[in-house]
């Protein structure tokens, strides 16, 4: 029933261009993902970035892993690329003279951490070192331009990757705007963020790219397509009144993007 989102058509219909590959801190060919659910690794605690913790692979999605810190709850899962510098094989921390830390919100008494750690690692299936890929180099300088299209992680729903447009550029930062969502999910990030991908990324990794939302203020270029009714026109040119009864799972309040330096995480 719902037509498949197609970048080639969408770029034509919105008269826009894809941001060039070399703008992104992503490998030209997405890294292969050999990890399996249940494998353990070391990961930087996203809520306490000075800590390296034990994490378990809870899910696999494209070139990303869904991770959960051992000893933490199931409400703080996070996603990392297999070539992220936030993850490493078990043993790396110790080799570097560091100590594995309990995650923020460790569910047991802090004094039970050493025992918990031993039990967690005993007989654990550790992800082989060869599965971890080297992080690609930083692109220099920021070569994004306003209006360029990309695929971006929705930071409020980080399992989702969505069609997006560069809304602004300031120094090393870009303003990522989500097509069809009226600014509610937009954020500023560094141009070398690992959360943004070139057009076509999801189709290469096998991730499901979300279709654009229904809301009007999709992109500045949407005005151009008023004369040519098309798939995109239907999706993006509805009047606000018409698009008001959106499906429940899309019922977010419209909001404004944040100014630079306050990127929503």
Strand residue runs (E) in the chain: 40-45, 48-61, 64-69, 78-81, 87-88, 149-153, 161-170, 173-178, 187-190, 196-197
185-244 residues near ligand MLY, rule: CB under 6 A: 185, 210
Name the minimum Å distance from CB 176 to ligand MLY. Answer: 10
Nearer to ligand MLY, 135 or 168 (CB): 168
Sole binder of ligand MLY in the list 178, 187, 188, 197 (CB under 6 A): 178
- Tokens found for residue 137: 């180099």
Nearer to ligand MLY, 30 or 212 (CB): 212
Q: Find out whether 27 and 205 touch, Cβ atoms under 8 Å.
A: no
Closest CA to 11 of 178, 201, 208, 148: 148
Nearer to ligand MLY, 37 or 246 (CB): 246
The answer to whether 181 contacts ligand MLY (rule: CB under 6 A) is yes
Count the site residues for ligand MLY by CB under 6 A: 12
Which residue bears the tokens 């695929």?
151
Q: Is 19 helix (H, G, I), strand (E, B) or coil?
A: coil
CA distances from 137 to 22, 70, 140 (A): 10, 30, 9
Q: Judged by CB under 6 A, which stretch of 10-18, 20-28, 83-91, 178-186 contacts ligand MLY?
A: 178-186
The answer to whether 12 contacts ligand MLY (rule: CB under 6 A) is no
The binding track of 233-252 with respect to ligand MLY, each residue x by CB under 6 A or -, is: ----------------xxxx
Instruction: Name, in order, each residue with C-beta under 8 angstroms of 107's C-beta and a sequence gap of 6 or more.
Output: 71, 72, 73
Sole binder of ligand MLY in the list 86, 154, 192, 195 (CB under 6 A): 154
* β-bridge mates for residue 197, sequence order: 151
Nearer to ligand MLY, 206 or 255 (CB): 255
Q: Which residues contribute to the site for ligand MLY (CB under 6 A)?
A: 154, 157, 160, 162, 178, 181, 185, 210, 249-252
């Amino acid at each position: 029933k719902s037509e498949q989102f197609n970048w080639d058509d969408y770029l034509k219909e919105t008269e826009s261009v894809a941001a060039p590959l070399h703008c992104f801190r992503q490998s030209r060919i997405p890294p292969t993902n050999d990890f399996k659910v249940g494998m353990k690794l070391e990961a930087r605690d996203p809520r306490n970035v000075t800590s390296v913790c034990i994490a378990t692979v809870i899910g696999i999605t494209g070139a990303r892993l869904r991770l959960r810190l051992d000893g933490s709850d199931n409400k703080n899962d996070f996603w990392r690329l297999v070539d992220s510098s936030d993850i490493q094989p078990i043993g790396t921390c110790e080799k570097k003279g560091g100590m594995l830390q309990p995650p923020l919100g460790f569910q047991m008494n802090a004094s039970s951490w050493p025992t918990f750690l031993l039990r967690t690692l005993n007989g654990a299936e550790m992800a082989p070192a060869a599965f971890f890929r080297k992080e690609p180099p930083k692109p220099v300088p920021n070569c994004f331009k306003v209006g360029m299209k990309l695929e971006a992680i929705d930071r409020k729903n980080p399992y989702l990757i969505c069609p997006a447009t560069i809304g602004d550029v300031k120094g090393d930062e870009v303003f990522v705007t989500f097509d069809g969502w009226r600014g509610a999910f937009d954020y500023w990030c560094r141009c070398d963020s690992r959360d943004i991908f070139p057009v076509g990324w999801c189709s290469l990794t096998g991730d499901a790219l979300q279709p654009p939302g229904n809301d009007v203020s999709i992109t500045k270029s949407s005005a151009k397509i008023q004369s040519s009714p098309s798939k995109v026109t239907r999706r993006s040119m509805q009047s606000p009144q018409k698009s008001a009864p959106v499906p429940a799972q899309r019922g977010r309040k419209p909001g404004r993007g944040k100014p630079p330096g306050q990127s929503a995480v």
